[in-house]
Structure 1
Amino acid sequence: MEVFGEFLERMPNPQHRARTEEVLGWVRKRFPNLLPKVAWNQPMYTDHGTFIIGFSVAKQHLAVAPERAGIVRFTDDIVQAGYDHSKELVRIPWDRPVDFSLLENMIEFNILDKADCSTFWRK
């Protein structure tokens, strides 16, 4: 978590910080081959130089960014989990549980779908 230490320290709400740390730690433990990094002031994980998943925080939610392809692929699951979403991110309200199985599926999808990707973002 050293990579995300400064980002987490800047979060003023201790409950939001704890939730974010829990999610980032879960990703690190479940997917130890992904590289954690902070870019654009957001914690994210990459694989062979390509973006896999990113996170950002807002007053009302933790945002998960699996790229547009991940949103399209998992729209039904996102709605079923009770989360709001846009074209690029999923909003997990701070007062709702994290659907870790959905998060796992989005990450696994991106790892497989971008296995031959040589750019940071999909083209």
Structure 2
Amino acid sequence: MEDFKEYLESIDEISHRDRMEEILAWVSEVYPELSKRIAWNQPMFTHHGTYIIGFSHSKNHIAMSPEVKPIQKFKALIEEVNLSHTENIIRIKWEDPIPYDLIRTLIDYNIEDKEGYTKFWR
């Protein structure tokens, strides 16, 4: 988690920091081919230079940002696991279970859908 150390240390609430670290470590372990970086004040993962997913913290939740297209495509699945969302983010409340299956679905979709994509954002 060295890539995200400074970001994680900026989270004052220890339980929130631990939760965020758990998610970032999981993504790093399951998807070792993804590159890690901090941009726009959030930890994010990229693949061949294109954005795949990012996470950020707020007072009430973790914001997961897979871009608009996957949120639209998997809206029913997001709502099925009782997560609120906007066009750009999915909110994981601090007390909610981490939706690893959903995270995997979003990442797998972005990796496949953005294969050969040359821009950072869609």
Q: TM-score, normalised by structure 2?
A: 0.99
The 5 Å alignment of 1:44-123 reads 44-122=44-122
Q: CA deviation at 1:70?
A: 1.0
Structure 2 counterpart of 1:26: 26
- Identity rate of aligned residues, in percent? 43
Secondary structure of the residue aligned to 1:116 is coil
The 5 Å alignment of 1:7-22 reads 7-22=7-22
- In structure 1, the gaps of 5 or more residues are none
Q: CA deviation at 1:73?
A: 1.1
Counterpart residue type for residue 42 of structure 1: Q
Secondary structure of the residue aligned to 2:74 is helix
Counterpart residue type for residue 42 of structure 2: Q
CA distance in 2, matches of 1:74, 1:17: 27
Structure 2 counterpart of 1:4: 4
CA distance in 1, matches of 2:56, 2:22: 14
CA distance in 2, matches of 1:99, 1:43: 18
Q: TM-score, normalised by structure 1?
A: 0.98
- Over 4 Å off, 4+ runs: none
Q: CA deviation at 1:75?
A: 0.3
Counterpart residue type for residue 2 of structure 1: E
CA distance in 2, matches of 1:26, 1:73: 23
Q: CA deviation at 1:116?
A: 1.6
